[in-house]
Structure 1
Amino acid sequence: MMSAQSATRIRGLSVRDIRFPTSMDLLGSDSIHPDPDYSCAYVIIYTDTMLKGHGLSFTIGRGNDLVVMAVKSLAHVVVGREIRALFSDFGSFWRELTSESQLRWVGPEKGVIHLAVAAITNALFDLWARIETKPLWKLLVDLEPEVLVSTIDFRYIGDVLTKEEAIALLRERREGAAKREVEMLQNGYPAYTTACGWLGYSDEKITRLVQDFLTQGWRHFKVKVGQDLEDDIRRCRLIRKLIGNDNVLMVDANQKWDVDQAVEWMRHLAPFRPLWIEEPTSPDDVLGHATVAKALRPLGIGVATGEMAQNRVIFKQLLQADAIDFCQIDACRMGGVPEVLAVYLMAAKFGVPVCPHAGGVGLCEMVQHLQLWDYICLSGSTDKRLIEYVGSLGHHFRFGVNIKNCSYMPPKFPGYSTEMKRETLKDHEYPYGAVWRDLFAQGLFRDPKAAPPSWIEHKEDEPVTHR
């Protein structure tokens, strides 16, 4: 499974707080997050050879430091590991990482801790692919089903999918895999764009961007909704008119609505024929999603969610409850590659297409690998399947995505495409990088080092006073 010259031991782990001031031009703005600063906790795993693994977990600004601290708190589980042993039974290691006896209490397998698990796990899979000198998608494609399945922790999902079922499913769908791989290498995987539909954009900017994307050949567009119904109707009407009746429109509410509100709001948007409504309500409300899906299917509108689904258990229940028509995995919200693979396998069993959430920092770079594996080894179809694409920060990665004819072309370089450029890491590290120092000096952002504390110390038996 692993080459004879592979690295033998992990000797260290570093993590950095990397942020981009995207709130300045409202990139990423939606109904819940009006001013995101796209960020990531960036992990490098060092071995006793020259090989390194690069991984990350995406956030949108404040709170990124919490993920960085969580990574540091989990580092002791990783450093010192013998690499062959780690990858020969990654599922057991992953369970150990997510079951650290005290840190699990502030999860478990969710929230900040799980974002940290994702950053570490993504770096380890990047390392594994580099050891094998393959892009990650090719590593996954070439793994025997038993080895791939050994990376997954089946605890909590065995009532829906067992190890044996997963292996059988992969073996059953092997036929034609080589042909599908050639097809992907030639044509790539189809994508859709969200880059023209951010909620904070003016009609003029939306019009210009949509027209630009149409000229480039794009045919699938997503727009953010949920803040104001009349504004959503106007914007959807504008975009539908721009893209015409033959192209595809999706809408995304980013968890803004209550269940009944979601149904009512989407009835008003139904004339614009959206393919799906994404995140119509709380990401944890499985039965709420089922209610919305049941109400909207007669209107020809599907329900998509998963960007903020905490773990494989939520996805298991969404699938069991027939609550989603499109499964939207995220490469960082769950605990990295193996947990995402578990969701792909469950979705395949239930016959629900996977359309990954992407954009942000590094998400496009990562999910292309996962979706290529799914097509070649599992689903064998691109019907109702697309990868989201927002390329605004892609130039910060050494091996960024290659979009051709509105499709992701398979990466050729070893790894998970997660390695950032040195200049980016230096300039965008928060709060000491040159980009942030300049913004603080211009008064465009508040310097956290100069800001007064939002709390004051108190003496014992005195009430805490907040400013």
Structure 2
Amino acid sequence: MLQRVISLTVRDVRFQTSLEQHGSDAMHTDPDYSAAYVVIDTDCGLKGFGLTFTVGKGTEIVVRAVDALAGLVVGKSLQEIVSDFRGFYRLLTSDGQMRWLGPEKGVIHLATAAVLNAVWDLWARAEVFITCADCFFRLPEDQMLKEGYPAYTTSCAWLGYPDQQLKQLCTDALEGGWTKFKVKVGADLEDDIRRCRLIRQMIGPNNTLMIDANQRWDVDEAISWVSRLSEFKPLWIEEPTSPDDILGHAAISKALAPLGIGVATGEQCANRVMFKQFLQASALQFVQIDSCRLGSVNENLAVLLMAHKFKVPVCPHAGGVGLCELVQHLILFDYICVSASLSDRMCEYVDHLHEHFVNPVVIQDAHYMPPKDPGYSCEMLESSVQRHQYPEGEAWKAAHEQMTKA
């Protein structure tokens, strides 16, 4: 714990998921899953790895923001950081000049998350935490080790996928034991009706369906649109409007309650303060958290505790490079140490880009299986980083050459 941080490096890593429409939704039609990837080096050789997720353009801005924060980390000992982690978080978010770019939202928040995730990873590698010391904790822990945490899939129904692909992916998922499916909606109402009907026919009446508009609508439009989709019995509508519109979400929630449709949001909510207001306003039936965009693990732990206080189940978002690897730690903490409940709880899973990680997430029978290696599971293979680093990596050089020839 006395090791001292001697350097913090950050790289812009992007994957060309837009070529096959992976991740496409009503607002993000051509996302390239990307990350500002941070590596912390210490004087004893121990490293910490962290990232924050983006969708392509603009990642370079997050990288520059991480560089600007590096001076607040380099030179500190790990002991100095973890002995007052709250103070360290405040140091990063309250710098007299950098704070002006936030505070605690936007690009500076993403940069902070990448740094803090790397520090958490470093801490976990330096010291194994024993949090399951009594019988209460051991029972949930044993259950997770045996059965895993329930997951739902979004990989079947990205908005840009053609019908035949949707059908094949649903068939494959059902054969693999999946029972919970999320569909992207919000671009065209009649097309949404058609696609939701197709998916519901594929998965049957008893499996769970969720829909996600990715903030596409205003409040009245959301209520009208989702009402038209109510025949397909969605469990929730995710991100129906601006992620910061607390009163708007409350109005949508009240209007859809008679239809039995809940409201879920949180993956792009600005910070823990707004989460508190969402919960106090009874605007959500399901809380979503994001391991990269909500200021890293620090704020997510605060949200887990608030959600437990207000008795709202947490169903984390995990669509993006490295997010499944990160969020598995949060759901396990929630179950073992906070909620001890799986009622109405599940975690998103997307089947993309896990092969680029040293310790990729493990899914068995549509359940997240607990990771066994120390750390925050976000260390990427160096070969993948080098190949997909933007713009000088071989993958991007090849793409540039193809565009030039075209």
What are the within-5 Å matches in structure 2 for residues 55-454 of structure 1? 55-132=50-127, 134=128, 139=129, 141=131, 176-443=136-403
Query: What SS does structure 1 have at the residue aligned with 2:182?
Result: strand
CA distance in 1, matches of 2:185, 2:370: 32
Aligned amino acid, residue 18 of structure 2: S
SS at match of 1:56: strand
Asked if 2 retains the 8 angstrom alpha-carbon contact of 1:7 and 1:51, the reply is no
Gaps of 5+ in 1: 1-5, 144-173, 447-467
Question: What is the number of residues matched between the two proteins?
Answer: 406
Contact 2:150/2:368 (8 A) holds in 1: yes
For the residue of structure 1 that corresponds to 2:139, the secondary structure is helix
Report the TM-score when normalising by structure 2: 0.98
SS in 2 for 1:425: helix
CA-CA distance at 1:175 after TM superposition: 6.2
Of structures 1 and 2, the larger Rg is shown by 1
Identity within the alignment, % = 58
Q: Is the 8 A contact 1:7 1:47 kept in 2?
A: no
Structure 1, residues 373-428: CA drift from partner, whole Å, max 9, x if none? 10001110111110100021111000000101110000000100000001101100
| Residue 27 in structure 1 maps to residue 36 in structure 2 | no
Distance 1:433 1:7, change over 3 A: farther
Shift of residue 183, structure 1, vs aligned partner: 0.6
Q: CA deviation at 1:359?
A: 2.2
Instruction: Output the CA distance in 1 between the equivalents of 2:337 and 2:164.
Output: 43
- 1:41 aligned partner: 36
Which residue type is aligned with residue 299 of structure 2? E
Could you tell me how far 1:142 is from its partner in structure 2?
A: 5.2
- Do the aligned partners of 2:132 and 2:138 also contact (CA within 8 Å) in 1? no
Could you tell me how far apart the structure 2 residues matched to 1:193 and 1:445 are?
Answer: 38
Equivalent position amino acid for 1:243 in 2: I
Q: Is the 8 A contact 1:7 1:131 kept in 2?
A: no
Q: How far off is 1:140 after superposition?
A: 7.6
Aligned equivalent of 2:47: 52
In structure 2, C-alpha distance between the alignment counterparts of 1:335 and 1:250, rounded to whole Å: 26
How far off its partner does 1:60 sit?
0.0
C-alpha contact 1:140 1:373 (8 A) present in aligned 2: no
- Code of the residue aligned with 1:383 in structure 2: it is S
Q: In the alignment, residue 271 of structure 1 is paired with which amino acid? A: E
3-state SS of paired residue (2:71) = helix
> Offset of 1:444 from its aligned partner?
7.5
* Separation in 2, partners of 1:274, 1:218: 16
Residue identity matched to 1:57: T
CA shift, 1:82, in A, is 1.6
Q: Determine if contact 2:267/2:294 at 8 Å carries over to the other structure.
A: no
* Structure 1 segments of 4+ aligned residues over 6 angstroms from their partners: none
Structure 2 CA distance for aligned equivalents of residues 118 and 142 of structure 1:
27
5+ long unaligned stretches in structure 2: none
